[in-house]
């Protein structure tokens, strides 16, 4: 998929698709008008290059280049032996105890079971695993005291090894159990920024706290961290679970001597406090509290700006002073689902209604969000299914979101665009590039029509990440975005702007 | 002086001066053409407002406004009793043990002696104290085991209380003795950013390590930190002292169990190592080493970029790709003397010659720098005497430096402008404002003539400072500056650009 994008960037290439001949890829090729004569013969076992080129020479160049790109990839891994089967892997590495599974969903459960049978913990990156399979796998895992992180688990860090979409964080004494990917990335990255370190970051998958699964893995992971000698402080991150499951989790958490910070945003605060746990009011606040506990400092709520309320008010007032009559809405355009959800939760009391493809209230659903214009205050999660059909996740391919940034600028009612930029392993190698170009273009569009568009951004990730937090922030700020140190602060800044607009 | 600037900003006011009728202020008024009829009667005991206004009404408005500004100031301090004499102060506060003295130089030594006689430690902010007076004061202080920090000591932090030009840093176990102001601010701010904390920050004044004084106060402060229970790691920051004095200092430092990091940039590395001390290669490196020691981590040299060499090379290459033929020189425009000096020292091996008003080699002196155009690679310290005659220090009044930024952009040979922005107590309340306007203007000037001007900036200060590190960095980055986390990194980035230009 990534190669497709590189090929599309060639001079003389109008459209391109490179990949295996799966049903999905064949359908995409058809939709793109790339199913030329002979394409019907391509099967799931074939690798194909389909391109709409200006000339035959261009196509020859494309083929050579794809060859080169693939060889480069192959060269990189040449030195390593990549075993094709689990049995092969176990032959070269008998002590194998962790597997990351990212085969298509319908095969994933079988592979996972196979691993568990060999006493191997599982990170199940695959989605499209049925909830029955998930339950069965997790029950089996619990019976063997193993982990099944997932399905659809995108982020984990085990003994300082980042798995899938994870950030390069310092090693330390804070252990995390997270139901979501960008929630985990946000909390762990901020812990790193604040000088704290991570012992383990365990994922449960988004459905774990549903009554069907009953929080099997949240409880298993929590117990694992309680027993982990490296972990001295524990953080739980999730949407609020059902009351009954919550109770079971708090029972376990309240029994350990280790302090536990609970970040179930929108959850039952009294219940958390009653159990002797620490309540976090945002992902950032969870990170702050964990670091305060690690440093044995007094635990306080962090609900303001690192730069101070006064400075933030000043900056917001300056943004507002440049806006035109009629600019009044925020458009939140996110690649990270959980931080999108967090932003909406932090704003909903003020705004009353936020239209979204992942709405907080069913009546606020924006139907066919990919093809619909935003309505009043709108937040879009570009990682949600309807945006990822036939294309990679927006953290890998940032183009669709970037296009929308430019698009929202044309609406005279748009006052502020709020964006995330998630870096780290797994993410695009330079996600700020396309985004900052879009920000520049969006600001120009608004300026041409006599408006001022405020763009507020947050970078989720660390300085140690391949993309670098500083380099990423700089690119966005150079394009005119107000870059703030966390999603909560960026959201609060938007809130400050909107209040001044009333 | 600050009020003068506010008054000058009024509509209808062309020039203004507000202050006491000292000889200096009277001279400035004369130079500005503000010595209207009756001005000759103004004495050093009079407060005056002199303004060149478009109309009598404007002048009336000026008077009202100045009244208001002064009342505001008075109101703020109304609650506090401000004793006019030392005796008065001692009556209300018998245990007084620290005095900050900022009376004119010729009275300063007397006041300092008076304090020492009362067993009060002295921070001598005043300059223009003779070296004989300094010696006498310090000898007397040493005999009584007291401190005389200064003269011309601008920065100190005693038991978490920042004095004069200091930053809001976390409390911790790292103690500093610094001969210079911005050197102390840079090291302490970076320590704070890295999650470390300061126990004490002691200043010695810039002449302390000269043979006339013999490092009396560096030794006294070092001994004080060795005995200070809160201090577990010690950092010494200065230009390299004379060999004999260096030897005495290293003798003291090598006897304590506490690790000592020595940042004498350009000093005798072998001698430092032989004494069992840690050598810092930049102010930032000193901060890194101190924090590593505080965290009991392995001590390593920090000589790269927080964002990594590769990312920095990429960013630099992008800057260079936009430049025009003939752009080849760096113009370093600093408000902080020591960080200006550090930048030159980090670049001199590559550049061979750097013209300056505070040159590394006498032959590189740029005469009458205030009125002369820059020549090839030029670095200017706007805090040096010739720039501060008749005006406040550039950290308080950033306008002269800002004007120069815009000016350097007109030179087709300017490739990159390197600037600092020092925040914290004492500094201008929003130094990034004028600077970022100048950066914008400079970039426009170059662009209009078909060039691309790279502006590289570093903010010296912390998030806790009234101006906020984030807010300050954001303003500069929004104006198109590449803002890097330390002076050393900013300088290294310029070095990377210049190498690519060759």
The model's pLDDT over A190-228, given as tens digits with 9 standing for 90+, comes to 999 998 999 999 999 999 999 999 999 999 999 999 999
Q: Inform me whether the pLDDT recorded for B79 exceeds 60.
A: no
The confidence score (pLDDT) of residue A72 equals 72
Q: Which residue has the higher pLDDT, B7 or B117?
A: B117
Q: Where does the pLDDT of residue B1 fall: very low under 50, low under 70, confident under 90, or very high at 90 and above?
A: low
The confidence score (pLDDT) of residue A197 equals 95
Q: Does residue B353 lie within any of the structural domains?
A: yes
For residue B484, list chain A residues with Cβ-Cβ distance below 8 A. 470
CB contact under 8 A, A478 and B478: yes
B278's enclosing H/E stretch is strand B278-279
Residue identified by tokens 């050197």 is B183
Give alpha helix (H) positions in B256-324.
Answer: 269-274, 283-294, 309-321
Same domain, A182 and A297: yes
- Tell me how far the alpha carbon of residue A35 is from its chain's centroid: 33
Q: Does A499 touch chain B (CB under 8 A)?
A: no
Mean pLDDT of B164-186: 95
For residue A191, list chain B residues with Cβ-Cβ distance below 8 A. none
Q: B213-216 — which CB contacts under 8 Å span 24+ positions?
A: B213/B131, B213/B134, B213/B135, B213/B138, B214/B245, B214/B248, B215/B241, B215/B245, B215/B248, B215/B249, B216/B135, B216/B138, B216/B139, B216/B141, B216/B142
Point out the domain boundary residue: A78, A101, A132.
Answer: A78
The confidence score (pLDDT) of residue B2 equals 60
- In the numeric block, which tokens belong to residue A145? 């005291």
The confidence score (pLDDT) of residue A350 equals 96
CB contact under 8 A, B311 and A468: yes
- Residue-wise pLDDT tens digits, A147-165: 999 999 999 999 999 999 9
The confidence score (pLDDT) of residue A39 equals 84
H helices then E strands: how many in chain B? 18, 18
Q: Does residue B304 lie within any of the structural domains?
A: no
Same domain, A239 and A346: no
Mean pLDDT of A375-399: 91
The confidence score (pLDDT) of residue A75 equals 61
Q: Does A482 touch chain B (CB under 8 A)?
A: yes
Mean pLDDT of A61-76: 77
d(CA A238, CA A213) in angstroms, rounded, equals: 14
d(CA A190, CA B417) in angstroms, rounded, equals: 32
> Do β-strands B329-334 and B414-422 pair in parallel, antiparallel, or remain unpaired?
parallel
Q: Which of A353, A356, A361 is nearest to A332 (CA)?
A: A356
Q: Inform me whether the pLDDT recorded for A402 exceeds 80.
A: yes
The confidence score (pLDDT) of residue A141 equals 97
Q: Does B456 touch chain A (CB under 8 A)?
A: no
Please tell me whether residue A110 adopts helix, strand or coil conformation. helix
- In the numeric block, which tokens belong to residue A23? 């049903």
A98's enclosing H/E stretch is strand A98-101
Q: Does A489 touch chain B (CB under 8 A)?
A: no
Q: Does residue B285 lie within any of the structural domains?
A: yes
Q: Work out the angle at residue B375's Cα, subtended by the Cα atoms of residues B369 and B376, and round it to the nearest 5 degrees.
A: 140
When the pLDDT of each residue in chain B is averaged and rounded to a whole number, the result is 92
Q: Where does the pLDDT of residue B177 fall: very low under 50, low under 70, confident under 90, or very high at 90 and above?
A: very high
The confidence score (pLDDT) of residue A85 equals 85
**Closest CB from A470, A480, A485 relative to B306:** A470
Mean pLDDT of B483-490: 98
Give burial (CB, 10 Å; 0-12/13-18/19+) of A414.
Answer: buried
Same domain, B319 and B264: no
The confidence score (pLDDT) of residue A74 equals 58
The confidence score (pLDDT) of residue B75 equals 61
d(CA A428, CA A5) in angstroms, rounded, equals: 12
The confidence score (pLDDT) of residue A375 equals 96
φ and ψ at residue B429, rounded to 5 degrees: -70, -20
Mean pLDDT of B431-439: 97
Q: Give A68 to chain B, closest Cα distance, Å.
A: 23
Q: Which residues pair with A20 in a beta bridge?
A: A47
Q: Inform me whether the pLDDT recorded for B288 exceeds 60.
A: yes
The confidence score (pLDDT) of residue B7 equals 83
Q: Does B294 touch chain A (CB under 8 A)?
A: no
Which residue range is the domain that position A118 belongs to?
81-152
Q: Which of B416, B389, B3, B358 is nearest to B206 (CA)?
A: B358
Q: Where does the pLDDT of residue B30 fall: very low under 50, low under 70, confident under 90, or very high at 90 and above?
A: confident
**Closest CB from A312, A314, A474 relative to B482:** A474
Q: Which residues pair with B176 in a beta bridge?
A: B201, B235
Mean pLDDT of B209-213: 94
Between A458-467, B31-40, B191-200, the lowest mean confidence (pLDDT) is in B31-40
d(CA B500, CA B314) in angstroms, rounded, equals: 11
DSSP output for B31-47: HTT---TTGGG--TT-E
Same domain, A269 and A316: no
The CATH number that applies at residue A95 is 3.40.50.720
Point out the domain boundary residue: B294, B318, B338.
Answer: B294
Q: Give B41 to chain A, closest Cα distance, Å.
A: 43
The confidence score (pLDDT) of residue B77 equals 53
Same domain, B410 and B391: yes
For residue B470, list chain A residues with Cβ-Cβ distance below 8 A. 306-307, 484-485
H helices then E strands: how many in chain A? 18, 18
The confidence score (pLDDT) of residue B76 equals 57
Tally of domains within chain A = 4
**Closest CB from B195, B308, B471 relative to A195:** B195
Q: Which residues pair with A330 in a beta bridge?
A: A416
φ and ψ at residue B413, rounded to 5 degrees: -90, -10
How far is residue B310 from each of residues A149, A431, B330, measured CA to CA in Å?
34, 16, 22
Same domain, A42 and A129: no
Same domain, A381 and A324: yes
Q: Inform me whether the pLDDT recorded for A390 exceeds 90.
A: no
- ipTM value for the complex: 0.79
How far is residue A465 from each of residues A77, B23, B105, B195, B403, measured CA to CA in Å?
21, 58, 52, 19, 38
The confidence score (pLDDT) of residue B385 equals 85
How many other β-carbons are positioned within 10 Å of the β-carbon of residue B365? 12
d(CA A285, CA A183) in angstroms, rounded, equals: 12
The residues in A 313-352 lying below 8 A from B, measured between CB atoms, are 314-315
The confidence score (pLDDT) of residue B305 equals 96
Q: Inform me whether the pLDDT recorded for B300 exceeds 70.
A: yes
Same domain, A142 and A162: no
Same domain, B178 and B261: yes
CB pairs under 8 A between A and B: 61
DSSP output for A149-164: E-SS--EEEETTEEEE
Most A CBs within 10 Å, among B471, B482, B483, to test the A interface:
B471
CB contact under 8 A, B473 and A470: no
Q: Which residue has the higher pLDDT, A88 or B141?
A: B141
Q: Does residue B299 lie within any of the structural domains?
A: no
Between A53-67, A323-337, A356-370, the lowest mean confidence (pLDDT) is in A53-67
How far is residue A488 from each of residues A7, A234, A321, A341, A420, measured CA to CA in Å?
38, 21, 23, 11, 11
Q: Give B428 to chain A, closest Cα distance, Å.
A: 14
Mean pLDDT of B213-224: 96
Q: Does residue B303 lie within any of the structural domains?
A: no
Which residue of chain A is at minimal alpha-carbon distance from B172? A295
Point out the domain boundary residue: B78, B106, B138.
Answer: B78
Provide, rounded to the nearest whole percent, the portion of chain A with pLDDT above 90.
75
The CATH number that applies at residue A398 is 3.40.50.261
Strands (E), A221-324: 233-238, 260-264, 278-279
Q: Does residue B140 lie within any of the structural domains?
A: yes
For residue A485, list chain B residues with Cβ-Cβ distance below 8 A. 470
- Tell me how far the alpha carbon of residue B59 is from its chain's centroid: 36
The confidence score (pLDDT) of residue B74 equals 58
Q: Does residue B302 lie within any of the structural domains?
A: no
Mean pLDDT of A348-354: 96
Q: Does A191 touch chain B (CB under 8 A)?
A: no
Q: Inform me whether the pLDDT recorded for B137 exceeds 70.
A: yes
Q: Which of A217, A212, A278, A222 is nearest to A244 (CA)?
A: A212
Please tell me whether residue A235 adopts helix, strand or coil conformation. strand
Mean pLDDT of B253-259: 96
Same domain, A366 and A411: yes
- Residue-wise pLDDT tens digits, A419-454: 999 999 999 999 999 999 999 999 999 999 999 999
Q: Where does the pLDDT of residue B6 fall: very low under 50, low under 70, confident under 90, or very high at 90 and above?
A: confident
**Closest CB from A466, A467, A482 relative to B474:** A482
Same domain, B108 and B42: no
Same domain, B65 and B110: no
């Amino acid at each position: 998929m990534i190669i497709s994008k590189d090929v599309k960037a060639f001079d003389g290439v109008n459209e391109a698709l490179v990949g295996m001949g799966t049903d999905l890829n064949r359908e995409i090729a058809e939709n793109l008008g790339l199913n030329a004569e002979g394409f019907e013969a391509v099967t799931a076992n074939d690798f194909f290059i389909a391109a709409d080129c200006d000339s035959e020479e261009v196509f020859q160049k494309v083929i050579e280049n794809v060859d080169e790109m693939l060889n480069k990839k192959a060269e990189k891994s040449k030195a390593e032996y990549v075993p094709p089967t689990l049995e092969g892997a176990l032959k070269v590495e008998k002590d194998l105890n962790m597997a990351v599974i990212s085969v298509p969903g319908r095969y994933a459960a079988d592979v996972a079971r196979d691993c568990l049978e060999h006493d191997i913990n599982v990170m199940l990156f695959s989605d499209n695993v049925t909830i029955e399979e998930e339950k069965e796998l997790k029950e089996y895992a619990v019976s063997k005291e193993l982990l099944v992180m997932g399905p659809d688990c995108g982020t984990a860090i085990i003994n300082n090894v980042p798995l899938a979409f994870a950030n390069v964080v310092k090693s330390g004494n804070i252990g995390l159990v997270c139901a979501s990917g960008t929630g985990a990335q946000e909390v762990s990255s901020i812990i790193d920024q604040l000088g704290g370190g991570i012992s383990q970051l365990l994922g449960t998958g988004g459905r774990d706290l549903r009554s069907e699964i009953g929080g099997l893995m949240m409880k298993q992971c929590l117990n694992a961290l309680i027993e982990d000698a490296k972990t001295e402080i524990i953080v739980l991150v999730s949407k609020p679970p059902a009351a009954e499951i919550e109770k079971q989790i708090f029972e376990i958490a309240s029994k350990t001597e280790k302090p536990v910070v609970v970040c179930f945003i929108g959850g039952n605060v009294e219940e958390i406090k009653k159990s002797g746990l620490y309540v976090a009011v945002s992902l950032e606040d969870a990170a702050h509290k964990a670091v305060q506990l690690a440093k044995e400092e007094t635990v306080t709520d962090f609900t303001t700006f690192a730069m101070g309320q006064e400075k933030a008010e000043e900056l917001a007032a300056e943004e507002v002073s440049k806006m035109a009559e009629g600019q009044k809405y925020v458009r939140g355009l996110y690649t990270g689902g959980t931080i999108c959800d967090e932003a909406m939760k932090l704003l909903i009391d003020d705004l009353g209604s936020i239209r979204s493809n992942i709405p907080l209230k069913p009546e606020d659903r924006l139907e066919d969000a990919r093809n619909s214009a935003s309505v009043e205050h709108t937040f879009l999660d570009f990682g949600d299914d309807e945006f990822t059909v036939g294309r990679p996740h927006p953290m890998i391919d940032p183009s669709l979101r970037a296009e929308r940034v430019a698009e929202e600028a044309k609406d005279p009612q748009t006052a502020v665009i709020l964006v995330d930029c998630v870096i780290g392993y797994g993410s695009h190698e330079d996600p700020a590039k396309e985004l900052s170009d879009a920000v520049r273009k969006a600001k120009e569009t608004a300026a041409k029509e006599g408006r001022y568009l405020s763009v507020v951004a947050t970078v989720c990730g660390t300085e140690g990440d391949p993309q670098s937090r500083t380099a990423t922030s700089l690119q966005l700020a150079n394009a005119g975005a107000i870059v703030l140190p966390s999603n909560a602060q960026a959201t609060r800044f938007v809130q400050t702007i909107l209040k001044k607009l009333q």
